[in-house]
Amino acid sequence: MVRPDGEGQLRGALRAGLTRWSDQAPEWLASGAVARAFAARVEGWAPPAAGRVASEGDVELAYLRFAGTNPFTIRRARQVSDVPERLRLPDDVFASLVGEGPSLAERVLAGDVFVSSYDALRVSAADDLQPGKYVAPVSALFVHAPGLSARFPVVPVAIACASGTPDGGTEVVLPTDGWRWRAAKRMLQVADVHASELEVHLARTHYMTVPFAIAMRRRLSAAHPIRQFLMPHLRYNLFVDRMAWLQGVRASSGVLVRSLAGSARWSQAVAKTLWYEASFREQHFERDLAARGLSEVPFDLPFRDDGRLLWEAIRRFTGAYVELTYADDAALRADAALHAFLAEVASPDAGNVRGLLEGERLETRNELVEILTQVLFVAGPVHALCHYGSAAQLQDVQDSPSWLIANPLATGVDATPSRVGGLAQLTRVVSTNVRHDTLGDFARYPLGGRPECRPMVAAFQADLRSIEDEIGRRNLDRPAPYLHLLPSRLTNGITV
């Protein structure tokens, strides 16, 4: 079903105007009862989004690394050198946190240690950050210790973060450090928001899929079967990505930049750095999990486990369509338009999607299935996860701020933006929380009207209904329901 979006757009326009006005708000409105009443009225126009996990507790901190809007940073340490040096805790300190037993080095060898590092958020110039805003690189150590928590078997044991300025010295904070631990957790959460928005949202979804949308229109005719297959998933990319650039990250007045800590120039540089960190093939769903050591961890990983259901359903759908389109590999190799399309996507002078093909040229239907499956998975489920997931997780500015006003470890006070000061964050996540279609709904596209495609479309829709039910069952036993990959909450592609 297509969700009516007129009310959401009107609400977003009103909130955007309020945000611009709040920049010039008189001092008497910035604090006290008037500010609280004003912000509460604005928040009242936006009903709470489903799927948010309160982030204050240690269990929630660990759970969100695997089941938040950015499940791409956490990785398993395979050897001690994979653990940042500052986080290699002495045996006595480690034992005091997780109990007597194997040392940190022994736990690493057993596959029980995980690390999240946000080194790409380095700040080196005075104007890298917006005035009055703060974010800094952070690293965190997590341990699989099922005996410590009945709700989630992974716990945080140390956070290394800046002790003052973002480019200054660092310190290690432990769960036994009282308010300093709470401050370090808040710094970690803010760093994760920046990684989610600049790496996952911009680099891994928008930047990765728009070359396909451009080359599709340039190289494939409207009647070409691969264009008809991709159109529901790439239809809005050109418009959305142009608006994301012009109104999102091009200037410091952009809605995304304003909701984060960095300047426009810094945010662009971070996203570009993260774009070059992994090629198209390295971002393949299962290859990425394997590279981070998460393919076989012995506990529930909602993104991995629910994502596998969706990946396989999309792959079956894609495979059926490719078999219908190309009788054999020879027919695929004879399709000059298809090869021109892929060549433009991969060309350093055009799409610059690195690692698209196994060799110099597409040779098999199986390889085409893998490419198309990844495009559909990224444009649909992955984008929905980070975009609509953010709408849920970041709607409560006090619980999940996307920037801080200072380093709380240095100031000793809460550095969370005020409710009025955080309106830029609230504006973005609520005004862009609009869905224009639902994954698997092709009624408005040529693909949905082709009689020979109806059986595979029906099978895909049946798979999605089954996945919806299965995720619902799994959520009954999770620390918090993981709603971000429910098929009913996903779109065919990037629509906003």
Domain ranges of the chain: 6-75+183-489
The amino acid sitting at 18 is L
Q: How does pLDDT run across 82-95, given as a tens digit for each residue?
A: 999 999 999 999 99
What integer pLDDT is reported at residue 26 of this predicted model? 52
Q: At what angle do helices 225-234 and 302-325 cross, to 10 degrees?
A: 150
Give the E-state strand segments of 10-112 in sequence order: 75-76
Tokens 């085409």, residue? 368
Q: What is the DSSP string of 3-23?
A: PP-HHHHHHHHHHHHHHHHHT
Element (H, E) at 471: helix 454-475
What integer pLDDT is reported at residue 14 of this predicted model? 52
Instruction: Give the residue from 194, 176, 3 showing the smallest Cα distance to 97.
Output: 176
What sign has the CA pseudo-torsion 470, 473, 479, 483?
positive
CB atoms within 10 A of CB 439: 27
Q: Does the domain spanning 6-75+183-489 belong to CATH 1.20.245.10?
A: yes
Instruction: Give the residue from 114, 453, 94, 394 showing the smallest Cα distance to 260.
Output: 394
pLDDT less than 50: residues of the chain? 1-10, 12-13, 15-16, 19-20, 22-24, 30
Helix (H, G, I), strand (E, B) or coil at 32: helix
Contacts 24+ apart (CB under 8 A), 472-481: 474/300, 474/302, 474/305, 474/306, 477/300, 478/67, 478/300, 478/302, 479/59, 479/60, 479/63, 479/151, 479/152, 480/53, 480/60, 480/63, 480/67, 481/51
Helix (H, G, I), strand (E, B) or coil at 373: helix
Rounded Cα distance between 454 and 427, Å, is 40
Q: What is the DSSP string of 196-249?
A: IIIIIIIIIIIHHHHHHHHHHHHHS-TT-HHHHHHHHHHTTHHHHHHHHIIIII
The amino acid sitting at 271 is A
Residues 6+ apart with CB under 8 A from 66: 74, 154, 301, 302, 303, 304
Helix (H, G, I), strand (E, B) or coil at 117: strand
Confirm if 135 and 261 have CB atoms less than 8 A apart: yes
257 to 170, 310, 417, 418: CA distances (angstroms): 26, 32, 15, 18
Report phi then psi at 2, rounded to 5: -90, 130
Radius of gyration of the chain measured on its C-alpha atoms: 23
Please report which residue ranges of 394-453 form alpha helices under DSSP H: 408-411, 423-431, 446-449
CA torsion, points 299, 70, 232, 456, in degrees to nearest 10? 0
Q: At what angle do helices 423-431 and 383-393 cross, to 10 degrees?
A: 130
Angle at 260 between CA 138 and CA 413, to 5 degrees: 60
Q: What is the pTM of this model?
A: 0.91
Residues 6+ apart with CB under 8 A from 387: 201, 205, 432, 494, 496
Instruction: Give the residue from 295, 209, 285, 279 showing the smallest Cα distance to 244.
Output: 209
Helix (H, G, I), strand (E, B) or coil at 492: coil
Rounded Cα distance between 171 and 409, Å, is 10
Angle at 445 between CA 49 and CA 232, to 5 degrees: 50
Confirm if 50 and 472 have CB atoms less than 8 A apart: no
What integer pLDDT is reported at residue 19 of this predicted model? 47
371 to 230, 281, 342, 362: CA distances (angstroms): 11, 9, 10, 10
Confirm if 53 and 63 have CB atoms less than 8 A apart: yes
Q: Is 206 buried (19+), middle (13-18) or exposed (0-12) by CB count in 10 A?
A: buried
Task: Locate 272 and state its tokens.
Answer: 């570009």
Rounded Cα distance between 47 and 277, Å, is 37
Element (H, E) at 392: helix 383-393
What integer pLDDT is reported at residue 419 of this predicted model? 75
What integer pLDDT is reported at residue 239 of this predicted model? 92
